[in-house]
Amino acid sequence: MVFSYAKRSGSLRRAPRTALAAAARVNVRRLHARVAQRLKTNMALRAGVKRHFPMRKVDDVVEFFRAQLESDNEPDLALLSIVTGYIENLLTFHRNVGVEPASGDHQPQQPCFPVVECGPVEALHAKFACQIKGSLDLSALDTDSSAGRRDLIKRVSDVIWSSLTRSYYKDRPHLQSLYSYLTGNKLDCFGVAFAVVAACQALGFSDIHLALSEDHAWVTFGDDSEETAEVTWHGKGNEDRRGQPIPQDKSWLYLNGHAIQCTRATEVAALVSAINPTITPTTDSTELVSLQQQLLWLLYDKGHLRNYPMALGNLGELEGLFPTPGRPPPQDLFAEAVHASRTYYHNHHVYPYTYLGGFLFRSGRLKEALRAWADAADVIRKFNYGREDEEIYKEFMEIANELVPQLVKLSSSGDGSLLQDPSCFAHLLRFYDGLCAWEEGSATPVLHIGWARPLVGTIAKFPATVRAAVSVHASTGDEEDAEANDKTHKDAPPSVSKEDSKKSSETSSQDSMMADGKEPKEHDFLKSLEDQLGQSNGPPHPDIVALAAACAENILNPDYLLGCGEPFSTKNGNSVKSGSRSGGSSGPAAVTLSSQKMAGLKELLLSEKLNTSAIQLQLTAQSQVQVVKRGSQANPMASHEATTRHSKRMRRE
């Protein structure tokens, strides 16, 4: 009967298999529950963190960040990113920013800071931990080796990358935080890199850090963060680069080995700098601006911005709009950013100078603004232009084609002192020389007719006498280029030869003594000349004889002491001297042109009557030729023939 029942229903033969399957499902559910509970326990917010909730005002968030920075443990990058993203989303998303009615009865709505509760933040924090830890099997990876760490980083980036929506989010705001990732599966370029580092921190790897250039982000790891790995994209579709080392080329995108190597505190600063208060293209959230400003000051006071030029520039911009009583003025912050670039990164960061130039321009300090922009061009000359340098290209195009012509126009309508200052013309030449040097050796041209016309129009505003008062030198050697740029950056004249330096050592020592306030006696100077003449076996140098014969006359040419010119001024030397001084500078205006393009334009730029058509033609014609190697003039015709394959001009408007 049992058999017949089993045969009739088939339940007995299926029962053992069904029971095993049911038991297995129960075990799996229990296992998942234990794993989830363990993850929840490990990633649950500690009591010391929970006490900061709810956060009802900006000061509460600042104190929360302060506690994270001062904690014995590392700052929790995921938690901080979720909190800032949560606040940014509430303050900028679907906000009513309509124009206020004209009637006086309506009272403007007071800013309202959102209340940040612990529950939503903790839930998102646990979700991020579960997603990362549940997607990776660390037991299958040899994370102790460099190759294993690289494989780990690649897999983490794959997890984050594969969960993103398949859309292109370039220049979209508010996509840099983990809140955007966890609630909408959307991240921008910086957001992906930051998420990878936060995920590695959640997995317990404390030696994996963020690296930042001025327009990109990647990951460093290993001893002294020597190993690098690409984890995100830049531009359109660089998926295949993830996990690969950063290229060591002369690319501004990667700063040629001078990127910011972040610590955990610097990564917090990067997170704060990435806060975007934009509601509409013309409206910002005042609450979010205040939050970002106070958080940057917190990081500044703790010394976490001293090697972060971009964050210092952001803080300077905020202080220029909303000054904080008792804090340094914006110009001091921009100066700190420049100092950081020179001290920590061998002057390879461009934006500190553009920040400073923009501030000086808005403040009406036009000469100083022009000099700052020339300094920015001195930095960009160290790189080769590439198609991924779109942001800095647009920055320089705005300066060259909009701000500089506007600066000249403002000076023309004012006192016109800028157009009468040879040093300003020297700064203008230095600015364009840097852009041309940036183009040399690059596969993609930079300058075209859209750049040439504003250049010619600006140069034409300077009188011929002012242009002629500038001492222009041409140098195409790499070593001479670096030396000359360093000297012109300090407004110093060209270096003298070893022979001339030896002969003028006494004169130089006299200058240094006068600079220290110790004016030497006349007979000491004469005695030094006499000793030098007596030690020479051959006939003395004619310059030494002339100096000894006329040292009592007050006609010594300062240009000679500076390494160029004749020992004594001509009759009309006084007028030349006064015209060649750069406003307030102690030496004549001088510039060394290192790019082949600007060096070739030297005579045209300094001629009494400008041939604008010839300048434009030469600029645009040379833009169609790629210079294979800077400073190589052994066979110009061969270089021209080898590079005319790039004759089709890529227009970048």
Supply the pLDDT for residue 12.
36
Q: Residues 369, 357: contact at Cβ < 8 Å? A: yes
Handedness of CA 59, 64, 66, 67 (dihedral sign): positive
Q: Choose between 622 and 492: higher pLDDT.
A: 622
- Could you give phi then psi for residue 279, rounded to 5 degrees? -100, -50
Q: Which residue has the higher pLDDT, 84 or 166?
A: 84
Q: What is d(CA 93, CA 573) in angstroms, rounded to the nearest whole number?
A: 67
pLDDT for residue 476 is more than 90: no
pLDDT at 215: 95
Q: Is the pLDDT of residue 184 over 50?
A: yes
pLDDT at residue 10 greater than cutoff 60: no
Return the minimum-mean-pLDDT range out of 177-181, 526-530, 620-624: 526-530
pLDDT of residue 192: 95
Phi-psi region of 517 (alpha: psi -120 to 50; beta: other; left: phi over 0): left
Alpha carbon distance 281, 288 (integer Å): 15
Collapse the DSSP code of 218 into the 3-class scheme (helix H, G, I; strand E, B; otherwise coil) and give the result.
Answer: strand
> Can you tell me the distance from the alpha carbon of 114 to that of 194, in angstroms, rounded to the nearest whole number?
25
- Which tops the pLDDT comparison, 551 or 1? 551
Residue 83 identity (one-letter amino acid): V
Residue 480 reports pLDDT greater than 70:
no
pLDDT at position 172: 83
List residues bridging with 223 in a β-sheet.
Answer: none
The structure tokens 């104190």 sit at: 63
pTM for the whole thing?
0.74
| Range among 31-40, 190-199, 248-257 rated most confident | 190-199
pLDDT in tens, 81-112: 999 999 999 999 855 444 344 444 444 455 58
- Quick: pLDDT tens for 346-398: 999 999 999 999 999 999 999 999 999 999 999 999 999 998 999 999 999 99
Which has the closest alpha carbon to 214: 388, 82, 401? 388
- Reported as a single tens digit per residue, the pLDDT across 426-449 is 999 999 999 999 998 888 888 888
Query: Nearest to residue 135, comparing CAs of 37, 210, 39?
Result: 39
Q: Residue 485, class by beta-carbon neighbours within 10 Å (0-12 exposed, 13-18 middle, 19+ buried)?
A: buried
Please report the pLDDT score of residue 103 as a whole number: 45
The predicted structure's pLDDT at residue 488: 44
- Confidence check: pLDDT of 646 > 50: no
pLDDT value of position 2: 40
What is the overall mean pLDDT for the chain? 78
Contact 430, 377 (CB under 8 A): yes
